[in-house]
Structure 1
Amino acid sequence: MNQSILFPDLQEWDPQTQSIVFPVQVQGANIECRISLDKLSLLSSIYFEQDNEQLEASVLAVFDEYRFDIEEEVEMLIEQDSFDEQGRVTLI
């Protein structure tokens, strides 16, 4: 793992964009990262019901379970300078 890329154990569910938002520190700079619900479903092979009262808890638990794979993909995108127009790394 690249030592100049650090992933703090912080994440939150954004119901408006249906994505998990989490930070990454790259050489001391904070960069916002997002993974869409669809991408998380594809990665985990788990279907999330949108009207489920426990959606946030379920999504965050699956994110935590697949965190290492997600971080590897984000790290690869950062090394390729694959940022969106807002300077974020987004997995969709």
Structure 2
Amino acid sequence: MNQSIIFTDQQSWNANNKTVTFIGQQAGNLIECVVSVSYLQNLSQLPIEDENVALQVFSEYRFDLEDLAEELIEAEEFNQLGQIEIN
């Protein structure tokens, strides 16, 4: 793992977009990373119908998701809002 990118322990559920948001930090800049429920469902092979299940699945696969987000950050794959999206 590249120590120039650090992920906080925070994660939150966005009910409108059906995503889990987590935060990375690189050179003092906070980078919002979002992972879709559909990606979490494909990863876990579980139906995700509410916040509790989404956050539980996210926690279970957190390190894999952070590794993927790190790769996307290093490749500068930011969306128009400056976020990293994992779909």
Aligned residues with identical type, % of pairs: 41
> How far, CA to CA, are the matches of 1:62 and 1:75 in structure 2?
19
Any unmatched runs of 5+ in structure 2? none
Partner of residue 70, structure 1: 65
Any unmatched runs of 5+ in structure 1? 50-54
The 3-state SS of whatever aligns with 1:90 is: strand
Q: In structure 2, what residue type is equivalent to 1:36?
A: S
Q: In structure 1, what residue type is equivalent to 2:64?
A: D
Larger Rg computed on CA atoms: 1
Normalised by the size of structure 2, how large is the TM-score?
A: 0.96
1:80 aligns with 2:75: yes
Partner of residue 6, structure 2: 6
Deviations 1:9-67 (A, max 9, x none): 00000000000011110111001110000011111111123xxxxx1111101100000
> How far, CA to CA, are the matches of 1:44 and 1:73 in structure 2?
16
The 3-state SS of whatever aligns with 1:3 is: coil
Q: After TM superposition, what 4+ stretches of structure 1 lie above 3 angstroms from structure 2? A: none
Q: In structure 1, what residue type is equivalent to 2:15?
A: P
Select the structure that is richer in strand.
Answer: 2
Normalised by the size of structure 1, how large is the TM-score?
A: 0.91
CA RMSD of aligned residues (A): 0.8
Partner of residue 57, structure 1: 52
> How far, CA to CA, are the matches of 2:73 and 2:22 in structure 1?
14
